[in-house]
């Protein structure tokens, strides 16, 4: 799973949510808000005989990046799949609302970093989780309207599925690794509902070809592709180059971008077919090359955009 060339460096995929935060921010600068000592836990898991966590799998706070204040939220994919639920969602929504309200004050932040690692809505709290996703989207867009970029960092074990994928698409920018996956309905759920001939979830190569970071980056569904080490995530988070505003011009540009994608690739059945139509050299080999070679090939496509 861990690419050979970063096997000796701390891996994002293998790290806990707290380790990821520590690796992205300036050392020792993180202050957690409503941390585990407050013991704000899910009141609903007991109904299902499931153990709660003191942080409900969501860590929020503020810290510094290159000395600039930032707000940060990280989902712990190892607890209940990093799911959106009543408490975990409200912590994120509270952080985003505070960040939006801070714009123009002495408390303002230069960016909000969302370290997504989520299977989507927590089904044991489905209604609260669904609403939390909707509230998060509204709050993310309010932060962007206040002129503060929201950056999604995706490369954890749980990926960004369900509502998490919609939240990602509403951020100013999506940063992804090869191991990162984004999809609305997970392959297992599609298989359960529509059969293995529609989507064989045990075909790992297929799953990665459809949902993985390389496919997303080539199609324009992720804006930055990076190696899977923690240092690369820090470097990506520091990249402040003109994130798109959330306004009518950006939405019109996104409309055109997404319309064109359907026109060009709407009849394709698998990603190598798309890559061949993009005139990429050796489309079948895209999954085989190493990260450095892939990053070079991605840059050569000239597909970078700010229409998000």
Partner 1 sequence: MTPADLLAALFPSGHTVVVGPDNIMSGTALATGGTEVAVLGIANATPLSPEIAITLAGQILDILRADDRKPIVLLIDTASQRMTRRDEMLGLYEYLGHLAKVITLAGARGHRTVGILYGTAAAGAFIATTLATQTLIAVDGAHPSVMDLPSIARVTKLPLETLEEKARTTPIFAPGVAPLAATGAVAEIWTAANGDLSHRLATVLAAIPPADDRDQLGAARGGRKLAHDVAEKVAASFAGEAG
Minimum CB distance to partner 1 smaller for 216 or for 297:
216
d(CA 78, CA 86): 18
Minimum CB distance to partner 1 smaller for 97 or for 157:
97
As measured in angstroms, the least distance from the Cβ of 14 to partner 1 is 25
Alpha carbon dihedral 94, 153, 163, 156, in 10-degree steps, equals -110
d(CA 221, CA 187): 18
Whether the Cβ atoms of residue 116 and residue 152 lie closer than 8 Å to each other: yes
The DSSP secondary-structure symbol of 245 reads: P
Q: State the sign of the Cα–Cα–Cα–Cα dihedral 143, 304, 299, 177.
A: positive
Minimum CB distance to partner 1 smaller for 120 or for 230:
120
C-alpha radius of gyration, the chain, whole number:
19
As measured in angstroms, the least distance from the Cβ of 91 to partner 1 is 5
Minimum CB distance to partner 1 smaller for 166 or for 231:
166
> Exposure string (b/e) for 232-266, b if CB count within 10 Å is 16 or more?
bbbebbeeeeebbebeeebeeebeeeeeeeeeeee
d(CA 295, CA 146): 32
Minimum CB distance to partner 1 smaller for 18 or for 231:
18
As measured in angstroms, the least distance from the Cβ of 118 to partner 1 is 12
């Amino acid at each position: 799973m861990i690419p050979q060339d970063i096997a000796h460096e701390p891996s994002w995929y293998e790290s806990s949510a707290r380790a990821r935060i520590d690796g992205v921010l300036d050392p020792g600068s993180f202050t957690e808000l409503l941390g585990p000592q407050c013991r704000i836990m899910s009141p609903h898991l007991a109904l299902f005989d499931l153990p709660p966590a003191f942080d409900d799998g969501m860590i929020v706070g503020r810290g510094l990046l290159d000395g600039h204040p930032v707000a940060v939220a990280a989902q712990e994919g190892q607890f209940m799949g990093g799911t959106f639920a009543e408490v975990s969602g409200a912590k994120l929504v509270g952080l985003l609302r505070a960040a939006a309200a801070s714009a123009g004050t002495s408390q303002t932040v230069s960016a909000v970093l969302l370290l997504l690692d989520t299977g989507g809505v927590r089904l044991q709290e489905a209604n609260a989780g669904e609403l939390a996703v909707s509230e998060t989207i509204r709050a993310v867009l309010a932060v962007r309207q206040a002129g503060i970029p929201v950056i999604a960092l995706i490369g954890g074990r749980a990926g960004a599925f369900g509502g998490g994928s919609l939240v990602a698409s509403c951020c100013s920018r999506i940063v992804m690794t090869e191991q990162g996956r984004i999809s609305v309905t997970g392959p297992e759920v599609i298989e359960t509902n529509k059969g293995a001939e529609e989507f064989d979830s045990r075909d790992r190569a297929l799953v990665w070809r459809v949902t993985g970071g390389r496919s997303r980056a080539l199609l324009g569904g992720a804006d930055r592709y990076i190696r899977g080490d923690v240092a690369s995530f820090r470097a990506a988070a520091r990249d402040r180059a003109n994130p798109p505003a959330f306004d009518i011009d950006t939405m019109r540009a996104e409309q055109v971008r997404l319309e064109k994608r359907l026109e060009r690739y709407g009849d394709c059945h698998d990603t190598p077919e798309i890559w061949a139509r993009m005139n990429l050299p050796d489309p079948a080999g895209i999954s085989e090359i190493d990260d450095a070679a892939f990053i070079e090939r991605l840059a050569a496509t000239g597909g970078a955009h700010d229409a998000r």
